[in-house]
Amino acid sequence: MDEEVNRRRRKTPTDNGAEEVEEAEGEEGDPAIWGPLDKNLRQVQSVLDRNRVLIQQVNDNHQSKIPENMVKNVALIREINDNVSRVIRMYSDLAGDLSRAFHRSRKGAANGTSSD
């Protein structure tokens, strides 16, 4: 029994350098929560990576001081702004999805059922 409890606990560092023991769902956690979370975070990262490329293009165009490139920056900056709005929506949706999944998981655990 004690071995089972120890396997289900994880030590995590705290801000002050101490270690805090937290209860774990298991080695991998609840796949119903972490699978979609991982997928959504990868989508967010993809949009952020795209913005990094767009920002570099804007910088290059600006430094070139070529009028046509400066005009191109208008569309690039619009795309960057749209992507920022998209990331905000994605994080908002992600927070709601994570909260709902967590509460379902907790409710299932309290009822003695699994979310699998």
> Nearest Cα to 55, choosing from 91, 84, 88?
84
Q: In one letter, which amino acid is 56?
A: Q
Task: Kindly report the backbone phi and psi dihedral angles of residue 27, in degrees, each rounded to the nearest multiple of 5, phi listed first.
Answer: -60, -40
Per residue in 23-81, pLDDT (tens digit) is 444 445 677 678 878 889 999 999 999 999 999 999 999 999 999 999 999 999 999 99
Distance in angstroms (rounded) separating the CA atoms of residues 113 and 52: 44
Per residue in 71-94, pLDDT (tens digit) is 999 999 999 999 999 999 999 998
Q: For the chain, what are the domain ranges?
A: 29-110
Please report, rounded to a whole number, the percentage of residues in the chain having pLDDT higher than 70: 68
Task: Kindly report the backbone phi and psi dihedral angles of residue 91, in degrees, each rounded to the nearest multiple of 5, phi listed first.
Answer: -65, -40
> Nearest Cα to 21, choosing from 30, 29, 11, 34?
11
Residue partners of 40: CB distance under 8 A and separation at least 6 = 90, 93, 94, 97
Q: What does the pLDDT read at residue 4?
A: 43
| Joined tokens for residue 12 | 């995590």
Q: What does the pLDDT read at residue 48?
A: 98
User: What's the pTM value of the predicted model, to 2 decimals?
Assistant: 0.63
Distance in angstroms (rounded) separating the CA atoms of residues 94 and 109: 22
